[in-house]
Structure 1
């Protein structure tokens, strides 16, 4: 694809940005509500969303799990792996822990940055023990979030 054509395909106007902001805030917002918000027809909004999906501006939709009481505990666990990045066993095991909401591969001293959201400190402790006991995990450092001041999910 010619560079100029590619740039045109990825151009977003103010209405596109407003649609993206609304979908980022609530991916389940009805098309009719979006259409009223941006002063377009439902069909025009649908076409814009379809185009942004095609152009990979919108790469997918996801579920954000809540907790029944709203008292979730979030922590980051930095993991140092024995194999220093060569095996997939630790990441595979982490993917099976439902409270692991994110896992990033890092450069530097630690290999993985694991974000965990649990329903309680007790459950967080159990998850930490599970992670620390995984074959291939050499060391962990865990920090518990005291307060969330910015959340752009």
Structure 2
């Protein structure tokens, strides 16, 4: 956090990580501020990019289980390889895409309905003109999911 954010902002973020649905009144009680002061701080944290969005994370009990995999991609041209990322954006099962340093260029997390869909995605990505090679690793289990 920058100098403009203080310990109270850090406590607000911690509380929101624990329960993003906490009421402003309850949050205010926990960080010793009024509901209105908490609302203003949250709006500033959103504006400054510390809070970038809200999401729902479903548990496996609530919905169908998904198969996870990592696609480890090497591009033909690291400098002009944005076409690969553009292609990945069009695949809804791609949940995370990181450009990395080292031998690999892109690490992609895919969550699909089944292994067959993972194979279809692999085939599609392997046909992108900028892709040199792909290594795929199926996720056997998730040990930490924050």
TM-score by length of 1: 0.77
Aligned-residue CA RMSD in angstroms? 2.5
Q: Do structure 1's residue 76 and structure 2's residue 73 form an aligned pair?
A: no
Gaps of 5+ in 2: none
Distance 2:12 2:109 in 1: 29
Q: Do structure 1's residue 61 and structure 2's residue 53 form an aligned pair?
A: yes
Q: Return structure 1 stretches of 4+ with deviation > 6 angstroms.
A: none
Q: Do structure 1's residue 148 and structure 2's residue 128 form an aligned pair?
A: no
The offset of 1:69, in angstroms, is 2.5
The worse-fitting range, judged by mean Cα deviation, of 20-29 and 59-68 is: 59-68
Question: In the superposition, relative to structure 1, how do residues 128 and 65 fare at CA in structure 2: closer, same or farther (>3 Å)?
Answer: farther
Q: Do structure 1's residue 121 and structure 2's residue 129 form an aligned pair?
A: no
1:110 to 100, 104, 115: 104
| CA deviation string 1:59-104 (max 9, x = no partner) | 4114356476241222111111122331321110101111111111
| CA deviation string 1:13-49 (max 9, x = no partner) | 1x32231023234444432342344343211211222
Aligned pairs, number: 144
What corresponds to 2:42 in structure 1?
49
What corresponds to 1:23 in structure 2?
16
TM-score by length of 2: 0.81
